[in-house]
Every structure is written in C-alpha cells, then in structure tokens.
C-alpha cells in the first residue's frame, strides 16, 4: 500500500518558516535532478529510456544479425568482397529480381558430413552431460552435507576454475593427456606402455566434463543443501535402506538441480569448438567445428550461414522451448 | 546419514580431476626444459620470455581494454534491461525483450560470432560503418553477449529486493530517477559488481566470437594463445596461465573470505 506522494509535498509555506528557509544556502544540484531535466529536455520519460536503450542494442546486434545470417544462407559463394552473391539484383528495365539459392540447404541434407556432424554433436554432448552428472552428483551431495566451515572452502574450490581461463584449462588438460604427458609418465613408472588419449573422442568427453563440471555441481548443490534432513531420517526410521531413501526421496527432490545442471553442461557442449579442435582428432565431428572450418578454411560464408540456421532450428530453438516450459512449471508452483 | 567411504573418495577424486591438470601446468611453468612434461630443473626463464614477447603483451593489453569497455557497456545496458523486465510488468514488446535478453545465453558462440561478422560486413557495404573490423567490433560483440549475463544476475537480485523501501522513498516525494540512484542502486551494488566481473571474465576468455569479428592487427590474448597451442606445446603459455591462475585465486579467496565474514558482522550489529 502506498500513501499518495504529492500529498506529502510541502504545501503553501507559512511566512516565518519561509523566511528561515531563505537563509539556508540553496542545495547543490544533485546528479538525479540533472538526469531528469536532461531526459525531460529531449522529451523522454525515464521509463521509455530504460526499455528503449537495451531493446535497441539487442535488436541491432542480436536480432538483425540473425536475419542477416538467414538472408546470406540463401546466397552462394562468389569471389569478391563480400564473398557471396547479392540477393537482390536490379535489371536494366527497372525491375528488381530476388534470387534465393537453396543449394546450401540441399547440400546439408545430401552431404552426410553435415548430418552426421549434427548427430555426433548431440551424442557427444549427451554422453558428456551424463558423465558430468555421475561425477558431479556425489560431489555436490558431499559438499552439501559437509560441516559448515568446510562447505565454503569446498564451494570456493568448485567455483575457482570457472574464473580462470577456459582456453588455458583445455590446454592444461591436453598437456596432461599427451603421449608424453603426466598420465602416461605416471603409467610408465609401472611399465605400462603409453596410451593414446589425445585426438580421440574420449579426450573430447574428458575435456567437456573437465571444463563444465562446476556448472553441474553448483545447481545440484543448491537443491541438495535445501533438502530437509528430517525427511531422510523419517525414511530411515521407517526402515528404508540408504539406497532406497536416496532413490525415493533425495533423487526426486533434487530433480530441478539435475535438470538445471544438465542444461548448463549440454547447451555449451553442443556448439563447442575449442574442445574438439584442441583435444579431438580429425575424425571428431562436431557441428561448431564444421561451421568454423566452413567459414575460415573454405571461406564459404553462405554455407556457414546455412549450417548456423540449421543449428538454430535443430538445437537452439528446442532448448529455448524446453527452458520456457520448465520455467513455466516452476512459476506455477 | 551413514558416513560411508563412497562420498569422500568420489569427492577427492573429483577435485583431483579438477585440479591435477592445473597444478601440473603451474609446476611445469617453472621447468627449465622446453618439453613441457619433462622436468629438468627450476627456472624462471619462461616468465622472462613471456614478458619479452611483444605479441603476447600487446594482445594482453588489447584484451584487458576490450574487456573493461565491453563489461561496462554490458553493465549499463544489462542493468537497464533487468530493471525494465522486473519493474515494468506491462509494456509493448516485453516478451520480445525478455526473449532477446535470454537467448544469447543459449546461443552457441560460433553462431553469435558468424552472425555479428555478417552484420558488420553488411553494414560496412551499406552504411560505410564500421570501417573494417578490429577492437571496436570485438567490443560491440562482447558487450552484446555479456549484456545477457549481467541482465540475469541483476534480475535475480531485483526480484528479491524489498519493494517497500522504494515505495517509502516515493511516498516521501522522491522522483523515480532519484529513488533508483539513492535506494535501488546501493542495494543491488553487489549484483552489479559480480555482473561486471562476470562480463569482464567472459570477454577476456572469449576466443570464438573474437576470432570471427576481429580484423588484421587486432588479435586478442585468447587468439594468440590458441594459435600458439595449436602449433604445439609452449612453456611461456604455462607461465602466462600460472600468472592468471594466481591472480584469479587471490581474487576468489578474498571474495570468499569477505562473504564468510559478512554474516558474522551482521550478527554482531544485530
């Protein structure tokens, strides 16, 4: 409830009070009054500006670029600057001709490289997410159940890698798994011959789990730490074995954390470029890498644009719809 | 709860997995040998090499500048965006703004980078601006995707904010702009700081988007590191990584200590 603001404004001031006020020095202009005057001068209300500024920026640098990608995906590669054909051409009799090339999209379906790259991206992202969940869940559980003074330190240890450079951590992992790396040197002490780990799909799985594990642990921790211990005790008192308690109480109650953590690993993993290109082998197909090569190695901008649009339709839009459905469910509760 | 061996061992292994490669990177940065994985003696020569490498130094300086500017733009626009979404329940295009401000979070870097590059190229041929690509286009690109992260961070703080404080200020006759600067801003300041730091880190860390929208002569630090790593092992990258890890660790440890102390001081006051 609010009391009306204007009613509290000083009304007509009594003469003696006005006199005493006149003696006070005038208040210095404050920044907000200057901002308000400035806004009023150009005929903008604060509210309009608050909405307008980010909306304009995002339209110009997020929405319009996607439209440009869509447009260029319908052109073909040409030599020149920019290296693609014009969509509109002006004939001599003044008519405008619009040319839509569908060849890029045809190629996506015909060349098995693209289709298998999409499938293998989804497969790699799914498997890595599952591994991250299997490793992250017990860790999150242990941190949530740790004594108070340990919990903050353990949480800090989870968060710390996130703030260090992602690229340098992938590099660290690559020196670790190299043919003459730490792991193989260690195995060598026991007379075990070096294992080829780098440039395999295995290395890509390890890389994704390694870099995105903190994203899995944090949401899991937030749901697990809120878990009511009384429920677990009640379950134990009623004779349930620990495993049974876990499956029928802890696991269902931590579902929001499982979903959130899995999304946070799966989403960046699926479009990943750095990890497959530094850790994977030539056979590791991921769609982010295909797009990159199409653009940088083949300089086929229209083909790269078509790959991006297909990626948007196949991967990004379903993820956004899922997230929206999920947040709708959360809000309804 | 039964205390078994399973949880402690998995947790220890998990942390070993997270920190093993980082520790070995740090240790081998002090290695004399060019082979990053064969220890031959303590040496600081890679640090010397790092600070004598003009390409690395100028790239680091460029990255820091871009990160600072784009994080600041992202902070201002992201905060405005969060205020608009949380405070103004109904306005035309609210759904569109909500969608546009959250979509960059799920957008793969390769798509963001490609789309912005194609935009800049199209704008250059239509409007003549931006002329060529370089630090300006990288800054715009980083500000755009960081905006979304700042918006999420500030939004979650604004939702929890007690509205009665702002209402009280309004009732006492303060104008909305004054309420924002005097009441709202100080309360959400922690979220603004973490939002800015997040944006700064993300910008400093980005390889993919910067590679698409940068031009000749404007290589950011991740781009230089990436090309070095691709060519093979280079111990000066280890030295650089050790410096970054050291700085970040100090920052995170300081922040954690502050956070651990804060509830205690509150109790002391109350």
- Listing DSSP states for chain B in one string gives ----SHHHHHHHHHHHHHHHHHHHHHHHTTBSSSSTTS---B--HHHHHHHT-HHHHHHHHHHHHHHHHHHHHHHHHHHHHHHHHHH----TTHHHHHHHHHHHHHS-HHHHHHHHHHHHHHHHHHH--S-S-SHHHHHHHHHHHHHHHHHHHHHHHHHHS-HHHHHHHHHTT--HHHHIIIIIHHHHHHHHHHHHHHHHHHHHH--HHHHHH--TT---HHHHHHHHHHH---HHHHHHHHHHHHHHHHHHHHHHHHHHHHHHHHHHH-
Q: What value does the mean pLDDT of chain A take?
A: 84
Q: Pick the most confident of A318-327, B173-182, B219-228.
A: B219-228
Separation CA A28–CA A33 (nearest Å): 10
Min Cα distance A101 → chain B (Å) is 18
Residue A13 has pLDDT above 70, yes or no: no
pLDDT tens-digit map of A278-296: 999 888 899 999 999 999 9
Q: Note whether A162 and A270 are within 8 A (CB).
A: no
Collapsed DSSP state (helix, strand, coil) of residue A4: coil
Which pLDDT score, from 0 to 100, does residue A271 have? 92
DSSP state of A21: H
Q: Which of B239, B201, B216, B233 is closest to B70 using CA atoms?
A: B201
What are the residue ranges spanned by the domains of chain A?
111-299
pLDDT tens-digit map of A212-243: 999 999 999 999 999 888 888 888 889 888 88
Mean pLDDT of A33-37: 72
Residues 6+ apart with CB under 8 A from B164: none
Which pLDDT score, from 0 to 100, does residue A144 have? 93
Which pLDDT score, from 0 to 100, does residue A330 have? 65
Separation CA B214–CA A185 (nearest Å): 40
With bands split at pLDDT 50, 70 and 90, how would you rate the model's confidence at B241? very high
Could you give the C-alpha distances from A152 to A149, A228, B155, B157, B253, in angstroms and in order? Answer: 6, 20, 25, 21, 10
The closest CB to that of A50, out of B35, B84, B205, belongs to B84
With bands split at pLDDT 50, 70 and 90, how would you rate the model's confidence at B265? very low
Separation CA A235–CA A226 (nearest Å): 17
Whether A31 and chain B come into contact, CB under 8 Å, resolves to yes
pLDDT tens-digit map of B91-105: 888 889 999 999 999
Provide φ and ψ at B87, rounded to 5°. -90, -35
Whether A205 and chain B come into contact, CB under 8 Å, resolves to no
Q: Which of B61, B32, B55, B56 is closest to B45 using CA atoms?
A: B32
Which pLDDT score, from 0 to 100, does residue A149 have? 83
Whether A22 and chain B come into contact, CB under 8 Å, resolves to no
Q: Chain A residues with CB inside 8 Å of B172's CB?
A: 5, 8
* C-alpha radius of gyration, chain A, whole number: 30
Q: Note whether B240 and B50 are within 8 A (CB).
A: yes
Residues 6+ apart with CB under 8 A from B158: B82, B83, B86, B87, B184, B188, B191
Give the residue with greater pLDDT, A97 vs A117. Answer: A117
Which runs of E-coded beta strand occur in A160-265?
none
How many Cβ atoms from other residues are within 10 Å of residue A192's Cβ? 10
Separation CA A57–CA B70 (nearest Å): 13
Give the residue with greater pLDDT, B243 vs A330. Answer: B243
Separation CA A243–CA A226 (nearest Å): 20
Cβ distance of A163 and B167 shorter than 8 Å = no
Nearest residue on chain B to A132, judged by CA atoms? B14
Q: Chain B residues with CB inside 8 Å of A169's CB?
A: 21-22
Residue B242 has pLDDT above 90, yes or no: yes
**SS3 readout for A293-315:** HHHHCCCCHHHHHHHHHHHHHHH
Strand partners of residue A88:
A98
Q: Chain B residues with CB inside 8 Å of A47's CB?
A: 88, 91, 176
Strand partners of residue B31:
B42
pLDDT tens-digit map of B91-144: 888 889 999 999 999 999 999 999 999 999 999 988 888 888 899 999 999 999
Cβ distance of A168 and B240 shorter than 8 Å = yes
Q: What value does the mean pLDDT of chain B take?
A: 88
Separation CA A148–CA A144 (nearest Å): 9
How many Cβ atoms from other residues are within 10 Å of residue A61's Cβ? 22
What are the residue ranges spanned by the domains of chain B?
66-226
Mean pLDDT of B68-89: 94
Q: Which of A207, A327, A67, A172 is closest to B159 using CA atoms?
A: A327
Which pLDDT score, from 0 to 100, does residue A25 have? 59
Separation CA A161–CA B20 (nearest Å): 12
Separation CA A137–CA B15 (nearest Å): 13
Q: Note whether B78 and B154 are within 8 A (CB).
A: yes
* A111-299 to CATH, choices 1.10.3720.10, 2.30.110.10, 1.10.490.10, 3.20.20.210: 1.10.3720.10
Q: Chain B residues with CB inside 8 Å of A172's CB?
A: 21-22, 24-25, 241
Percent of chain A with pLDDT over 70: 87
Separation CA B219–CA B135 (nearest Å): 9
Q: Note whether A258 and A134 are within 8 A (CB).
A: no
Residue A17 has pLDDT above 60, yes or no: no
Whether A194 and chain B come into contact, CB under 8 Å, resolves to no
- Which of A57, A131, A177 should be substituted to probe chain B, the one whose Cβ sees the most B Cβ atoms within 10 Å? A57
- Overall CATH class of domain B66-226: mainly alpha
Which pLDDT score, from 0 to 100, does residue B3 have? 56
pLDDT tens-digit map of B181-226: 888 999 999 999 999 999 999 999 999 999 999 988 899 999 999 9
Could you give the C-alpha distances from A207 to A170, A226, A259, A297, B223, in angstroms and in order? Answer: 7, 30, 21, 24, 19
- The HSE-up count of residue B72 (CA atoms within 13 Å, CB side) is 5
Cβ distance of B244 and A168 shorter than 8 Å = yes
Q: Chain A residues with CB inside 8 Å of B100's CB?
A: 55, 58-59, 62-63
* Residue A263 token pair: 């999304």
Q: Note whether A227 and A250 are within 8 A (CB).
A: yes
Mean pLDDT of A183-204: 86
Residue A1 has pLDDT above 60, yes or no: no
Collapsed DSSP state (helix, strand, coil) of residue A133: helix
Q: Which residue reads 């002490």 in tokens?
A: A189
Q: Chain A residues with CB inside 8 Å of B20's CB?
A: 176, 182
Cβ distance of A8 and B171 shorter than 8 Å = yes
Nearest residue on chain B to A185, judged by CA atoms? B37
The closest CB to that of A163, out of B141, B201, B230, belongs to B201
Between chain A and chain B, the number of residue pairs with CB atoms below 8 A apart is 272
Cβ distance of A135 and B10 shorter than 8 Å = yes
With bands split at pLDDT 50, 70 and 90, how would you rate the model's confidence at A24? low
Q: Which of A27, A9, A30 is closest to B181 using CA atoms?
A: A30
Whether A138 and chain B come into contact, CB under 8 Å, resolves to yes
Cβ distance of B121 and A213 shorter than 8 Å = no
A189: left (phi over 0), alpha (psi -120 to 50) or beta: alpha
Separation CA A247–CA A242 (nearest Å): 9
Separation CA B85–CA A187 (nearest Å): 56
């Amino acid at each position: 409830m609010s009391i009306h603001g204007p009613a509290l404004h000083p009304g007509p001031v009594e003469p003696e009070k006005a006199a005493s006020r006149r003696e006070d020095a005038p208040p210095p202009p404050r920044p907000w009054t200057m901002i308000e005057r400035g806004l009023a001068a150009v005929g903008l209300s604060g509210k309009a500006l608050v909405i307008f500024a980010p909306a304009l920026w995002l339209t110009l640098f997020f929405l319009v670029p996607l439209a440009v990608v869509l447009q260029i995906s319908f052109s073909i590669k040409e030599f020149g600057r920019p290296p693609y054909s014009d969509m509109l051409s002006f004939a001599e009799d003044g008519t405008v001709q619009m040319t839509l090339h569908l060849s890029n999209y045809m190629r996506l379906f015909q060349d098995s490289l693209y289709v298998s790259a999409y499938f293998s991206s989804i497969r790699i992202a799914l498997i890595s997410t599952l591994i991250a969940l299997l490793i992250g869940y017990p860790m999150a559980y242990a941190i949530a159940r740790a004594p108070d003074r340990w919990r903050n330190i353990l949480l800090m240890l989870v968060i710390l890698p996130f703030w260090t450079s992602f690229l340098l951590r992938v590099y660290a992992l690559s020196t670790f798994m190299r043919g003459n790396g730490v792991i193989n040197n260690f195995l060598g002490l026991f007379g075990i011959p070096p294992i080829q780990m780098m440039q395999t799909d295995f290395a890509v799985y390890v890389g994704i789990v390694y870099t995105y594990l903190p994203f899995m642990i944090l949401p899991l921790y937030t749901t697990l730490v809120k878990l009511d211990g009384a429920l677990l005790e009640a379950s134990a008192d009623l004779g349930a074995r620990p495993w049974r308690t876990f499956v029928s109480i802890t696991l269902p109650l931590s579902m929001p954390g499982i979903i959130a953590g899995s999304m946070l690993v799966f989403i960046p993993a699926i479009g990943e470029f750095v990890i497959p290109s530094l850790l994977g082998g030539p056979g590791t197909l991921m769609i982010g890498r295909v797009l990159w090569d199409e653009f940088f190695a083949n300089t086929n901008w229209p083909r790269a644009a078509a790959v991006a649009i297909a990626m948007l339709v196949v991967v990004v839009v379903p993820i956004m719809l899922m997230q929206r459905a999920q947040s709708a469910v959360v809000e309804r509760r | 709860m039964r205390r078994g061996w399973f949880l402690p061992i998995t947790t220890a292994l998990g942390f070993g997995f997270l920190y093993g490669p980082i520790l070995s990177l740090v240790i081998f940065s002090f290695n004399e040998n060019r082979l990053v994985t064969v220890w031959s003696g303590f040496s600081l020569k890679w640090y010397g090499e790092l600070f004598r490498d003009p390409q690395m130094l100028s790239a680091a300086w460029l990255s820091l500048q871009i990160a600072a500017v784009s994080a600041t733009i992202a902070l201002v626009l992201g905060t405005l965006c969060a205020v608009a979404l949380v405070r103004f329940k109904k306005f035309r295009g609210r759904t569109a703004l909500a969608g546009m401000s959250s979509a960059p979070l799920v957008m793969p870097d390769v798509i963001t980078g490609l789309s912005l590059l194609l935009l800049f190229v199209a704008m250059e041929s239509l409007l003549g601006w931006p002329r060529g690509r370089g630090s300006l286009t990288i800054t715009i690109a980083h500000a755009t995707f960081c905006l979304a992260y700042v918006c999420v961070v500030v939004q979650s703080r604004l939702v929890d904010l007690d509205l009665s404080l702002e209402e009280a200020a309004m009732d006492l006759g303060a104008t909305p702009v004054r309420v924002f600067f005097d009441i709202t801003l100080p309360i959400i300041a922690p979220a603004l700081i973490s939002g800015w730091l997040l944006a700064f880190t993300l910008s400093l860390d980005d390889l993919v988007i910067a590679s698409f929208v940068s031009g000749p002569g404007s290589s950011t630090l991740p781009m230089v590191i990436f090309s070095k790593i691709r060519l093979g092992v280079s111990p000066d990258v280890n030295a650089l990584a050790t410096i970054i890890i050291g700085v970040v660790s100090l920052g995170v440890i300081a922040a954690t200590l502050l956070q651990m102390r804060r509830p205690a001081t509150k109790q002391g006051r109350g």
